[in-house]
Chain A
Amino acid sequence: MSGAMIDVIVVGGGPAGVAAAVELRRRGVERVVLLDREPELGGATRHCSHSPFGTREFGRVYLGAAYGRRLAQEAGQAGVDVRLGHSVVRMLDGGRLEVASARGAETLSARRLMIATGARERPRADRLLPGDRPIGVVTTGTLQAYVAFHGLMPFRRPVILGSELVSLSAVLTCLTHGARPLALLESAPNPLARAPFAWFPRIAGVPFHCGAEVIDIRGADRVEAVAFRRSDGAVETLACDGVLLTGRFTPESALFRQSTIGVEAGSAGPAIDQDGRTADPMVFASGNILRAVETGGWAFREGRAVGRAIAADLARDAQIAPPVPVTFDPPVKLVVPGLLRRGAGSEPAFREFQLRFLRRARGRLSLALDGSEVWAGEGTFLPERRILVPIPPGAAEAGAVHVRFREAG
């Protein structure tokens, strides 16, 4: 490559990454490189065959790979230097990236980095599921990649674990590709997603059990059976040929985990400030790496907003203040942004704190700046649902920012 300095390298060609890269170019940033390890842009949208994408950002509906093609068109028109088949191996200090491509290893560097590597479902091992470790235990994303990219199926009679929205998508993928789910099991006492869990599985003819704990996965080579304990204590064994793990998304944040920046315990993503800037002022992040998981449209808007903030940051190029961490009480699971910086851009990328709860809780949620309450709300908060709290003007000037929760009763 030429010796000209890259202004911004964006890592990840999903909605957030493409939106950021396009926005940077539109704001006059000269050299914007977008790296993605896959052969096409789109990220997770490429295999999500049941979710409509594009309504918010493009005013029309795209399915699966079509959305990625639209992103590629946007990136091309904006003059983004898109490099596919580039896998980022490591993030080094000073805006440098170690990259693997068909050419072998190389190191790229830029004035700013924007990491938008998205999220994925947690694998079987990380869920500590018991039993044998046969072939046929996969996640929804993997199932959809089998179907969308290769016309293959990993099983015919799976047991499905989980009750998030993606779990319903998983049921649909099975039913439309010749597989018959034998049961839908959720370990929590209630489904994690709202209706249609009340009626959809029943209509699809798939028994749905809440409070069901998997106690054994059997199979020498391929999955042969799943045993689970129902909420009434009875143990049921289903002969099956697969286990489909759905939901429990986690940020694909390995680049941060293995860097000096690190990740937050609650979100498993990097902490960012109101501009999407991490603890290292050269490194930004946006999209589902911040907090698994939001929709493609949400990630797109976040990417665009952080792209705008990076453009402003490049123009300013002044010393930036050290961040103030946003603290919070349990059972709040995460707060994004988790940092605030004094003197950051006048037009912040984030105007609201995004919160999630670990479990269902009823009580009073409030925001305190330097000890005094500036916002409060009462209610019942459900696990994994998005909660928005406005970031008041002047919050970035506070020396202490705390999200407080007082449980009722």
Chain B
Amino acid sequence: MLHAQARPTPAPSLQEMFDVAIIGAGVVGCALARRFALAGAKVVLVEKGSDILSGASKANSAILHTGFDAPPGSLELELVKAGRAEYLDIRDSLGLPLVTTGALVCAWNEAEAAKLEAIAAQGRDNGVAGLRLLNAHEARAGMPALSPRLVAAIEVEGEHIIDPWSAPLAYLTQAVALGARFLRRAELIEGRFGGDWTLATSAGELRARAVVNAAGLYGDEVDRRLGFAPEFEIRPRKGQFVVLDKAAFPHVPRIVLPVPTEITKGVVVCPTAFGNVLIGPTAEEQEDRTRATVETDTLRALLKRGAEIVPALEGVPVTAVYAGLRPASEEKGYRIFARPESRAITLGGIRSTGLSAALGLAQHALQLHAAFEGPPLAPVGAPAVHLPNLAETRERDWQQPDHGEIVCHCELVTRREIEAAFESAVPPGDFGGLRRRTRAGMGRCQGFYCNARLAEMTRGRLAEPLAVGEDEEPGRS
């Protein structure tokens, strides 16, 4: 029974009554779990996948946005700013990195340059400080590798890079330390409201006083399963990304943003917290909510675009490629609905600023909840949680003695880090989860050297094992 140890936590008994059930353990769900747990609520986080970040949240550009380009007066703007402020406030105590790159919104022709003034004005109206219009010479002084074709740029000082996987993990870890339950492989099948909620999931039935739908790509479907007529429709928008070798990193000290269009923020070139360079995303509408494929021609086009923006990126090897689906809806803004009569909140259509806004969305959801929930919750102190650092900008585990061995040489991941991940409050449920927690196998050789060792180390610990076993006739279909 290879799967035995990877089974989900047994379903809480029907007798146990939760204050809040959160559907979906993406970045928003994890932030919700933390916020409600801190408010004193008994929380259960219900996730269909084997791990947190199994959907839209696993693939993004890792930018902590300022909101300079968010629609003026929008809830999205307010929540991006609130989320960002809270991240900056708590990230030190949680051990989360902040790479203070700043961003350049780059105009590559006169038509784009003509739009910069308005973008800067909107940014200032949005209450974002640290915006500066630069000529090409000034912009390239701060980033000499930018193509000389640059016409002009806006500097946005406050745009930063974070670790998009450790942040939500830290939020949930804090919630779990306060008693929150994390239920994996628990797809919501049906919810019934009769004074309280009874939620039937694939991992068992549970009861809760209130429910928050943070189901991302399935936000509309979960509303339907809760018995509501959905007020929005998810229209997945795919984004493909290329991650370049660390040799590219010195060339890209800043986030390079294009002048945005109506549809998308466009292709970004930016550093990652792990010392790579990211090019992406694309914006491709599709019906399918499950498959986020990469396509050879698109990846090639991204590489070409990257090298047009930063010529030194030409020929740098590709370390990773990935694609994600944004849970966009038929409207541009967030789709947030409170249904006080059935104590339900839906946070939908969080299409591309979820990482930045997650903590703000959680604050907002708590306010909506307070408006209809009778007995006030009793806030509790934040438990000390400190995540292992994976960012290159700070000290890593391999630099300390007694780490056992270096398992992944490209990313310098130690055996101690891998063991710690499995022994943590929110252990990895699948190989992707282990990679996101430790970076094992995420480097330039993509597991050429360490994948077999990892297969050995993770035997019996992951939902889908790396090795299929040593028997001649495997016992799996």
Contact = CB atoms under 8 A, between A and B. Distances in A.
For B398, B410, B455, B474, the residue with the greatest tally of chain A CB atoms inside 10 Å of its CB is: B455
Nearest to B315: A265
B245 A104 contact: no
A121 B456 CA distance: 21
Given A139-B448, A146-B455, A146-B467, A130 B295 contact: yes
Contact of B446 (A102, A125, A222): A125
B445 A120 contact: yes
Nearest to A134: B464
Contacts of A151: 470
A154 B430 contact: no
Nearest to A222: B464
A100 B472 CA distance: 39
A187 to B, nearest CB: 11
A84 to B, nearest CB: 10
Interface string A179-218: 0000000000000000000000000000000000000100
Nearest to B321: A125
Contacts of A89: 412
Nearest to B398: A100
Interface string B437-477: 00000001111110111011000000110111111111000
Interface string A100-114: 101111000000000
A221 B473 CA distance: 21
Given A130-B294, A222-B464, A257-B245, A142 B409 contact: no
Nearest to A262: B247
B463 A150 contact: no
Contact of A37 (B243, B409, B470): B409
A250 to B, nearest CB: 7
B403 A104 contact: yes
Nearest to B415: A102
A220 B290 contact: yes
B147 interface: no
For B295, B404, B445, B452, the residue with the greatest tally of chain A CB atoms inside 10 Å of its CB is: B452
A125 B322 CA distance: 9
Nearest to A146: B452
Interface in B38-87: none
Contacts of B374: none
B406 interface: yes
B412 A102 contact: no
A103 B247 contact: no
Nearest to B246: A258
Given A87-B412, A120-B449, A152 B403 contact: no
Given A126-B318, A146-B467, A121 B448 contact: yes
A259 B296 CA distance: 30
B401 A128 contact: no
Contact of B406 (A87, A129, A138, A258): A87
A258 B468 contact: no
B444 A152 contact: no
Contacts of B300: 128
B455 A154 contact: yes
A153 interface: yes
A104 B401 CA distance: 4
A120 B322 CA distance: 22
Contacts of B453: 145, 149-150
B434 to A, nearest CB: 11
Interface residues of A, number: 50
A54 to B, nearest CB: 23
Contacts of B474: 156
B467 A154 contact: yes
Interface in A116-130: 120-126, 128-130
Nearest to B290: A220
Contacts of A135: 431, 464, 466
Given A151-B470, A221-B463, A258-B247, A87 B409 contact: yes
Contacts of A85: 405-406
Contacts of A250: 317
B286 interface: no
A123 B471 contact: no
Given A125-B446, A150-B455, A153-B470, A132 B291 contact: yes
B448 A142 contact: yes
B319 interface: yes
A243 to B, nearest CB: 13
A76 interface: no
A245 to B, nearest CB: 10
Contacts of A23: none
Contacts of B404: 102
Contacts of B341: none
A131 B245 contact: no
A216 B293 contact: yes
A156 B476 CA distance: 10
A145 B447 CA distance: 11
A152 B459 CA distance: 10
Nearest 10 CB-CB pairings of A with B:
A123-B446, A145-B452, A152-B467, A257-B247, A221-B464, A105-B399, A104-B401, A178-B472, A146-B452, A150-B456
Given A103-B401, A125-B319, A150-B467, 7 more contacts: A100-B398, A102-B403, A102-B405, A105-B398, A146-B452, A153-B467, A254-B410
30 contacts: A85-B406, A87-B412, A102-B405, A104-B399, A105-B399, A120-B449, A122-B317, A125-B243, A126-B319, A128-B296, A128-B318, A129-B294, A131-B293, A133-B294, A135-B431, A142-B447, A146-B452, A149-B456, A150-B455, A152-B466, A152-B468, A153-B469, A154-B455, A154-B466, A156-B468, A156-B474, A221-B463, A222-B464, A254-B246, A265-B315
